[in-house]
Amino acid sequence: MSEAKRLATPVAPGGRIGILGGGQLGRMLALAAARLGLKTHIYSDERDAPAFQVAAEHTHGAYNDEAALAKFAAACDAITFEFENIPETAVSFLAARKPVNPNARALAPTQDRFAEKSLAISLGLKTAPFFAVNSADDAAEAFARLGRHGVMKTRRFGYDGKGQAKVASAEDASRAFLAFKYAPSILEGFVDFAFEASVIAARAGDGTFAAYDPPENFHEHHILRRSTVPGRLSAAQIDEAKSIAKKIGDALDYIGVFCVELFVTKSGELLVNEIAPRVHNSGHWTLEACLTSQFEQHIRAVAGWPLGSTKRHSDAVMENIIGEEAADWRTLAATGGALHLYGKSEIRPGRKMGHITWLKSG
Amino acid sequence: MSEAKRLATPVAPGGRIGILGGGQLGRMLALAAARLGLKTHIYSDERDAPAFQVAAEHTHGAYNDEAALAKFAAACDAITFEFENIPETAVSFLAARKPVNPNARALAPTQDRFAEKSLAISLGLKTAPFFAVNSADDAAEAFARLGRHGVMKTRRFGYDGKGQAKVASAEDASRAFLAFKYAPSILEGFVDFAFEASVIAARAGDGTFAAYDPPENFHEHHILRRSTVPGRLSAAQIDEAKSIAKKIGDALDYIGVFCVELFVTKSGELLVNEIAPRVHNSGHWTLEACLTSQFEQHIRAVAGWPLGSTKRHSDAVMENIIGEEAADWRTLAATGGALHLYGKSEIRPGRKMGHITWLKSG
């Protein structure tokens, strides 16, 4: 792997930020970059990617098309991405040409559930109990060691509940591993949490760190339904959540915005569930409740700008608009909340079509 | 003039809003439309218009290029504009093909200072004393009737102090008229106001009206420097300002956002100064301090959507970034305010390059 490029000077207004991925996160990143006077170039393998509609330039290409990637890199001053499941080869290829952040080294541990949880443990953080599963025998043995029901998860490429199976017996565990087609997996002990939360944080190239107040999150069918800030976290838990994020950001020498999903147990412990190396659905409320949104914050970090304020001026509730719910856009437009629709041409079950944020005070 | 098209049904998400003009107002309108899942198509005679960078489609064409205008109209579901000095012929041409709002009938009185002030008087509103000037003799006579110093202004195509001259004598008045190359003008009595204010309001196709809290405005060298909300207006003056806007909006059967600039006299009277048939610089703070910004509100009105809430959740100060000030973007990025840079490739003296909004409470 050739040396990764580092950003020597900030990308000045008029400069070009490349974004891999053209879904709603790429779209909201592009909108935030525009506000700062930066141009965006979206690269997506989707022909009609929503982010294309708001970017100065776009490339429709495969993530292994080196000619297209090289042309894209040449047209950008700094590059980032909207989702973590980009082929590492694409990231390395681009990083040899232009600064890519978060960089491949920071990205790797977050792309593998085992590495991710091992990192948390190595930093003195807590997680649910977990065991590596690389064979059907491992699966049965892991279940025996766990001694209670749990969740089998593939180590890589899972999102919104994909690549997950509940297991209540050693046989379940082995069966799940077969169903995952022998993909390296983990067995995780089921956590009877009080509620879920997350902390969205940013780290700049100079190590500056800033975290938003952690929202409480409510999932339905493995998809985020609602984030509420403030949630039920105590002041001490809010501080602890931010400190967890800081430890992880520093350990990864991370540049950009990331999210740490947390389980808050009934005894008040914060367990690290997942690390998402990107802007996150549970941070969408920052668009309305903070002067610097998570999207702008990420652009600032990857463009080498100073981080913005993460101060929250209002309480907020963010709710996702999923699948068919988007068909009722006239009603959604009249709720008094801030409506965001993602420009997706097709409504599909479970697809995130938009979100609404209401401010509760301020 | 053929019959103007009216919007039969709201433009659904995925639909296309055409915007004439590609400066910062068109750009911020496009960003707001994107948030609602609407696509924008910018038409501008400027090759490198800032709004092109954030729109799904753009056309670079002259405002009298009927072939380009026809193609543009065909590609849009509803059309609006970012500035009032568009040739009426272009508006009529487009309006025969697709709904254009605000429409030509609403636009006309706002494009002529004499008609504008006459409208205000006809509605029982107050203005500075004014006289039509169509000849050098008119100029001298108007000055005599005014009996004190004033300002000569061309009736059309003035902005940011262009086409204006202070006059302290009949000779000054005649000379100003000559300097304006005999363009139809008005002589306006100088108002020794306490401060300036404005009210940004919206009116939907069904007559629904909504106004934002009026900011106090401070101008420097005829260019808006700062808007503060709340300003020094009393509760009664705030109500009166909104009621002035409602009278004007209703009289024009207006669809979209408009701004009424006001002089607040030392005795507390509100005088109508100008009506701007568009989103307005003094309303930029609505992006941060309200859930529905003036830009989104305008898009909602012209797309046939319900108006959003004009509630202000925070106090705000908006300051323009003018000319060379933009070169210091690193400092501006670190003030803790919300920074907006307009993507203009060239810094020119007096050019509006961006703005910053700070929230004071919330």
Contact B343 A54 (CB under 8 A): no
Residue B179: is its pLDDT beyond 70?
yes
- Band the pLDDT of B362: cuts 50, 70, 90: very low
Which range among A20-29, A77-86, B146-155 has the greatest average pLDDT? A20-29
Residue B15: closest C-alpha in chain A: A343
Residues 6+ apart with CB under 8 A from B147: none
Task: Give the alpha-carbon dihedral of B343, B348, B353, B356, to 10 degrees.
Answer: 150
SS3 assignment, position B341: strand
How much is the mean pLDDT over chain B? 95
Residue B287: is its pLDDT beyond 50?
yes
Q: Which tokens belong to A59? A: 């490339």
| CA–CA gap between residue A246 and residue A257 (Å, rounded) | 11
Which residues of chain A are within 8 Å of residue B31 when distances are taken between CB atoms? Answer: 31, 34-35, 54
| CA–CA gap between residue B176 and residue B188 (Å, rounded) | 13
Residues 6+ apart with CB under 8 A from B59: B41, B42, B43, B44, B68, B71, B72
Predicted TM-score of the model (pTM): 0.95
- Band the pLDDT of A159: cuts 50, 70, 90: low
Asked if this assembly's ipTM is beyond 0.85, the reply is yes
| CA–CA gap between residue B82 and residue A79 (Å, rounded) | 32
Task: Give the alpha-carbon dihedral of A292, A296, A301, A307, to 10 degrees.
Answer: -10
| CA–CA gap between residue B56 and residue B40 (Å, rounded) | 6
CA B322 distance to own-chain centroid: 18
Distance from CA of A114 to the nearest CA of B (A): 37
| CA–CA gap between residue B53 and residue B344 (Å, rounded) | 10
Distance from CA of B243 to the nearest CA of A (A): 23
| CA–CA gap between residue A225 and residue A13 (Å, rounded) | 36
Residues 6+ apart with CB under 8 A from A345: A48, B14
Model confidence over B122-143: pLDDT tens digits? 999 999 999 999 998 899 999 9
Which residues of chain B are within 8 Å of residue A291 when distances are taken between CB atoms? Answer: 288, 336-338, 357-359
Model confidence over A69-124: pLDDT tens digits? 999 999 999 999 998 888 889 999 999 999 999 988 888 888 899 999 999 999 99
**Which of the residues A28, A208, A305, A313 would you substitute to probe the B interface, choosing the one with the greatest number of B C-beta atoms within 10 Å?**
A313
Model confidence over A40-54: pLDDT tens digits? 999 999 999 999 999
| CA–CA gap between residue A79 and residue A83 (Å, rounded) | 13
Q: Could you identify the residue written with the tokens 């089998």?
A: A152
Closest residue to A13, CB basis, from B12, B30, B341: B341
Residue A336 region by backbone torsions, left for phi larger than 0, else alpha for psi between -120 and 50, else beta: left
- Band the pLDDT of A160: cuts 50, 70, 90: low
pLDDT of residue A362: 43
pLDDT of residue B102: 95
- Band the pLDDT of B104: cuts 50, 70, 90: confident
A-to-B residue pairs, Cβ atoms closer than 8 angstroms: 119
How many percent of chain B have pLDDT more than 90? 88
How many percent of chain B have pLDDT more than 70? 98
Q: Are A165 and A200 in contact (CB under 8 A)?
A: no
Closest residue to A340, CB basis, from B35, B52, B354: B35
- Better-predicted residue by pLDDT, A111 or B14: B14
Closest residue to B314, CB basis, from A53, A56, A313: A313
Model confidence over B290-341: pLDDT tens digits? 999 999 999 999 999 999 999 999 999 999 999 999 999 999 999 999 999 9
Residues 6+ apart with CB under 8 A from B108: B88, B115
Using alpha carbons, select from B40, B42, B94 the residue that is nearest to residue B65.
B94
